[in-house]
Chain A
C-alpha cells in the first residue's frame, strides 16, 4: 500500500483503539483471556496518567538498571570499515545484560498496580526469562518461566541464572520445543490461572495492548539516543540499525525517530542458513500475513497456514513471527527490513570482540553484520547508530561449538 505513505502525517500515532497498526495487531485471543487484556489496557491507561508510576519507573531505570546506557563511538570498527561513523547504543550494559529489563520493570510495576501475585513469562534465548526472574525477585513475586526444551539445552547458563533468581523454569516439549511453543504454554498457563497471574510478554508482539506496552517501555532506548547524539554531534543520526526477532529492541530504538524523515531506519532479521534454504527466521522477508499469539502479523507458515519453525544461530531470534508494528512499518515503507545469515553474524561477533573489546550477543551481531556490509560505502560524516541490545556472555559456549572449540 504505497499510497498510504503520502497520507501519513505521523508514524507514531498507532495503535488505534482496537490495537491495530494498519491491518496488523488486534486481539486474537480466547474469550477467557479477553476480559484480562481489556483490564490490562484500562490499567495501563490509568498508569499513563499517573506521574508516580513514571517516577518510580525512572528511579528503577537509573539505580537498578543503570540507565541511561552510553552512546559509544566504535572508533576501531569505524576505522576498519573506513566509511560511516559507527555508534553503539550500549543496552548490553544494563543490569541483566540486555534491553529486556526495560520492559520487565515496566510490566511488573503494572502487575503490582493491578494486585497480581504471580508472574509468568516465555523465553527463547533466556534473556527475557532472566530479566523477568530478576524483577520478580526484586519485588518478591513467584515467577514461572516457560522455555523450549531445545532452548534449555543451548542456553544452560541462563537457565541456571533464572533458577538462582528463584524462578521455576518449565521445559516445554510440545510442538517443536522452542520459543513459539513456550509462548503457547505460557498462554495456556494464563488461561488456567487468570485471577492472580500477570503474563510478562518479552517482545513487542501478542494481543493488544502488549505490542504498545512493550514498545513504550523500550522507547527509552531511542529517546536517550536522540538526546545523546544531539549532545555529541549536535544533530540527528543519519541511520539506525537494529536486529529483529520479535522486534522489541528495534521498535524501542526506532519509535522516537519514526517521524524524523531524514533518518534511515533498518531492521535486520535472522537469515539463518540463507533465505533460499528455507531455514531462517526472517518473517518479513520469507513469511506472509497471518494470525498467531494474539495478533495479525507476518508469520513463517506453509501453504496450509500451519506455522513453521524459524531457524537462527541465535535462540533469541528464531521466532516465526514479528511484532505487528514492524509488519506495518514494512508495508508503509518507513523502515527497511533486511537480513543477515548465521555465518555473517558469527563473523561480526568475532570482529567486534577483537576490535572493540565488546563481546556482543549473537542477536545484535546480526545488526552488526549489516553495519559492516553498508558502512564502508557511506561517507565519513554519516552517523550510524546500532543497538547493542545484549552482551554475549551467554553465547560463548554455543559460539565455541560453532567454531569447533572444545571448552572443558
Chain B
C-alpha cells in the first residue's frame, strides 16, 4: 500500500530536504477557525499535517497542548467533528497527508473498526496514538495496517537497542522520534544527541524519521531538519492560537493570518538547511 505520507516523503527525498510537520488541535479554538487554519496550512509550506484529537487526560502533553485540548472540548469538539474537519479539508486538498494524533480512549469508545473505516473515508492517512506502545499492537496498530492506513510509532530516548526492533516492527509511514525525555512543549533537545539517535534508528529501518518535542522556532526547525527527515512543531503553534484569542477566549480577526504567518516562518526552516 502507498499512502499520501509515503508519496510525500518520496517527493521530498527527490527534493533533498526534510518535511515540515505542523500539529494543530482539531476544533481549537472552535470548529470553523480550526478549519480555516487547516485549509491555510498547505500554503505555508507545511508538508504533513498532524491533527490532535482532543482528550481530557493527555498524559504526555505539556500545558500548551493540554490547554488547547480543553479549549476545543469546551467549544464542543468531538471525534465525529474531528473526522468532519478532515472531510472538509480533503474536499479542497487531496495530497497533503493527514495524521491524527491523540490518545486511545476516545478511539476505543468510538469503536476501533468503525473509527478506522470512517477515518479512511474522511481522508486520514495515519495515526499516532501516544498510549499504544508496541505491546498493545493488536488494539489498533494491526487493524490500521489491515485497513491500509499508517500507524506511526514513537521512539524515545529510553527506547534502547534491544527494544528498537520491536518498536519499528509494525511501524509504517514514518518513525516519530521523541527527542526529549519528557512532555510536549519541553525544553529543546541537544542537536548532537538527536543526530546520533536518528542515525541509530535509520540503521534499523528504511522509514523516514521525523523528530518532535521541544522544537519551537525556525532555528530549531532548521537545526533538526539538517539531521532528520522531518521536524514537528506543535506546542508553539497552539500557543500562537492562544495568543490570538480575546479576553473572553474568542478568536480575534488576526488569529488565522497570525498563525499561518508563524507556521510559514517555521516551514521556511526546513528549506534553509540543505
Contacts and interface: CB of A to CB of B under 8 A. Distances in A.
Contacts of A291: 103-105, 108, 131
A30 B130 contact: yes
A188 to B, nearest CB: 5
B133 interface: yes
Interface in B129-164: 130-136, 153-160, 163
Contacts of A184: 57-59
A294 interface: yes
B57 A35 contact: no
For chain A, the bracket of interface size reads 35 or more
B189 interface: no
Interface string B176-208: 001001110010000000000000000000000
Given A35-B160, A294-B131, A305 B107 contact: yes
Contacts of B181: 32, 191-195
Contact of A301 (B103, B105, B136, B186): B105
Interface in B46-72: 54-60, 62-63, 66, 70
Most buried by B among A195, A289, A304, A305: A304
Contacts of B60: 30, 32, 187-188, 191
Given A32-B178, A307-B105, A187 B133 contact: no
B82 to A, nearest CB: 10
A30 B59 CA distance: 8
Nearest to B77: A304
B236 to A, nearest CB: 19
Contact of A31 (B55, B70, B109, B159): B159
Contacts of B56: 175, 306-307
A187 B70 CA distance: 19
A185 to B, nearest CB: 9
A304 B106 contact: yes
B78 interface: yes
A360 interface: no
A28 B108 CA distance: 12
Give the bracket for the number of chain B residues in contact with chain A: 35 or more
A175 B181 CA distance: 23
Interface in B85-114: 103-110
B109 A305 contact: yes
Nearest to B186: A192
Given A18-B135, A188-B183, A291-B131, A32 B59 contact: no
Contact of A175 (B57, B133, B182): B57
Interface in B110-131: 110, 130-131
B109 A301 contact: yes
Nearest to A188: B183
Interface string B28-58: 0000000000000000000000000011111
Contacts of A188: 59-60, 62, 182-183
A137 interface: no
Rank and list the top 6 A-B pairs by shortest CB-CB distance, nearest first.
Answer: A305-B109, A305-B106, A192-B182, A32-B156, A28-B131, A304-B78
Given A175-B70, A188-B182, A301-B105, 9 more contacts: A26-B136, A27-B136, A35-B159, A36-B158, A175-B57, A192-B186, A195-B181, A304-B80, A304-B109
Interface of B: 54-60, 62-63, 66, 70, 73, 78-80, 103-110, 130-136, 153-160, 163, 167, 178, 181-183, 186
23 contacts: A18-B135, A27-B135, A28-B133, A30-B130, A30-B131, A31-B134, A31-B153, A31-B155, A31-B178, A32-B182, A33-B158, A174-B66, A175-B56, A175-B57, A188-B62, A191-B181, A191-B182, A288-B109, A291-B103, A301-B105, A304-B78, A305-B55, A306-B54
Interface of A: 18, 26-36, 174-175, 180-181, 184, 187-188, 191-195, 288-294, 296, 299, 301, 303-307
